[in-house]
Structure 1
Amino acid sequence: MLSITADQLALFIGTLSVAIVSPGPAVIAVSQSAFALGRRRVLPYAWGLAAGASIWCIFALLGLTVMFRIMPWTYDLMRILGGGYLVWIAWKMWQHAPDPLPDPAQSRLGMSFWGGVVLNLSNPKPALFYSAVLLSIFPALLSGADKLAIYATALSVEMAFYTALASLMALPWLRRRYYESKFGIDRAAAALIGLLGLSLILRL
Structure 2
Amino acid sequence: MSLETWLVFAFLCFMAGVSPGPAVFLTISNVIRFGRRAAIISGSANAIGLVVLGLCIGYGLGGLMQASAFAFTMVKIVGGAYLVWLGIKSWRATGNFIAAEGGEIAPDEVSLFRTSFILSITNPKAIVIMGAMFPAFMQAESSLWLQSAIMATTYAFMCFIVHYAIAYMGEYIRPFFQSSQRLKYLRRVIGSLFVGFGLTLVATR
Amino acid at match of 1:154: C
Q: Which moved more, 1:151-160 or 1:132-141?
A: 132-141
Q: Structure 1 residues 191 and 45, CA, compared in 2 at 3 Å: closer, same or farther?
A: closer
Cα pair 2:27 2:43 within 8 Å, conserved: no
Where do 1:1-204 residues align within 5 Å? Answer: 1=5, 10=15, 12-16=17-21, 18-22=22-26, 27=30, 31=32, 34=35, 43=36, 46-68=39-61, 72-73=63-64, 75=66, 76=68, 78-96=71-89, 98-102=91-95, 104=105, 108=108, 120-123=112-115, 124-130=117-123, 132-140=124-132, 142=134, 143=138, 144=147, 146-169=151-174, 171=175, 173-176=176-179, 177-199=182-204, 202=205
TM-score (norm 2): 0.61
Paired position in structure 1 for 2:144: none
Normalised to the residue count of structure 1, the TM-score between the two structures is 0.61
1:50-108 alpha-carbon deviations (Å, 9 max, x no partner): 22321111111012221338xx44653542222102321343345455423446467x4
Q: Which amino acid aligns with 1:174?
A: F
Q: For the residues of structure 2 that align with 1:189 and 1:163, how far apart are their CA atoms?
A: 23
Query: Which blocks of at least 5 consecutive residues in structure 2 are unaligned?
Result: 97-104, 139-146
- How far did 1:192 drift? 3.2
Q: Secondary structure at the match of 2:131?
A: coil
Q: Structure 1: any 5+ residue segments left out of the alignment? A: 35-42, 110-117
Assess, with a 3 A threshold, how the Cα gap between structure 1 residues 101 and 85 changes in structure 2: closer, same or farther.
farther
Q: Percent identity?
A: 8
CA distance in 1 between partners of 2:183 and 2:164 (Å): 20
Tell me how large the CA RMSD over aligned residues is: 3.8
Aligned residues: 174
Distance 2:73 2:80 in 1: 11
> What amino acid is aligned across from residue 66 of structure 1 in structure 2?
Y
Amino acid at match of 2:166: F
